[in-house]
Amino acid sequence: EPEVTQTPSHQVTQMGQEVILRCVPISNHLYFYWYRQILGQKVEFLVSFYNNEISEKSEIFDDQFSVERPDGSNFTLKIRSTKLEDSAMYFCASSEGWLAGVAEQFFGPGTRLTVL
Amino acid sequence: TQLLEQSPQFLSIQEGENLTVYCNSSSVFSSLQWYRQEPGEGPVLLVTVVTGGEVKKLKRLTFQFGDARKDSSLHITAAQPGDTGLYLCANTDKLIFGTGTRLQVFP
């Protein structure tokens, strides 16, 4: 069964460093998403991506964040200068269609980012 | 911004008991989804409800969408340890998740 994969599973970095989180969405999906979940808190939407551009983003997704689909398979989230409060689980998701059409969203296993 | 409040926040029960989890919104849902998330994994979709008053069953799980489409409930009959996890409601049209209900079922 096709699945969303994410690497690395755990990333430890120093405050101020740049990190790139990688995701491989399901191959025939067209919509891609990043979420984060701070330990013990709810899942928060960061950004959605379609047709090689950002379609929606939340207030959390400020200038220190960027997303890219550098090739036909990878979807990356870059955090330019990490802060302590960026420590969280980051989930990538993909869907075949836009969610307003109640398409199913498939989540990856997540990358745990720890900022020291 | 729509707020999705779930209750209870935590629930610990014995195997075989029944339980209900609630999701309440500050505004109308266009559609609502329920997910279950296990530790160290991403959320997995359980069901999507679209029509006010809709009831969907998934084995021992019954999902109900309120008539006014501002609330939903998830009822589990005869809970099993495998039901343990974090249950999340979501308005995926708005890309908003609820606060979650953490369920622990003891054998």
Inter-chain touch B95–A91, beta carbons under 8 Å: no
Nearest-CB residue to B42 (from A91, A100, A102): A91
Mean pLDDT over B57-85 rounds to 95
Residue A25 has pLDDT above 90, yes or no: yes
Chain B residues touching residue A46 (CB < 8 angstroms): none
Rounded to an integer, what distance in angstroms lies between the CA atom of residue B66 and that of residue B39? Answer: 29
Chain A residues touching residue B40 (CB < 8 angstroms): 109-110
Inter-chain touch B48–A102, beta carbons under 8 Å: yes
Rounded to an integer, what distance in angstroms lies between the CA atom of residue B36 and that of residue B107? Answer: 19
Phi, psi of B36, deg, nearest 5: -120, 135
Q: Please, what is the average pLDDT of chain A?
A: 92
Q: Please, what is the average pLDDT of chain B?
A: 92
Inter-chain touch B93–A100, beta carbons under 8 Å: yes
Q: Quick one: pLDDT at residue A108?
A: 95
Interval B25-46: pLDDT, tens: 988 888 889 999 998 889 999 9
Q: Quick one: pLDDT at residue A102?
A: 64
B82: part of which helix (H) or strand (E)?
Answer: none
Confidence of residue A58 (pLDDT cuts 50, 70, 90): very high
Confidence of residue A105 (pLDDT cuts 50, 70, 90): confident
Asked whether A43 and A35 are in contact (CB, 8 A), the reply is yes
- Listing from the earlier edge strand, what are the strands of the sheet with B55-58? B4-7, B19-25, B71-76, B61-65, B55-58
DSSP class of residue A25 equals -
Inter-chain touch B100–A102, beta carbons under 8 Å: no
Interval A66-87: pLDDT, tens: 999 988 789 999 999 999 999 9
Residue B105 has pLDDT above 90, yes or no: yes
Residues A48, A53, A55: CA angle, nearest 5 degrees = 40
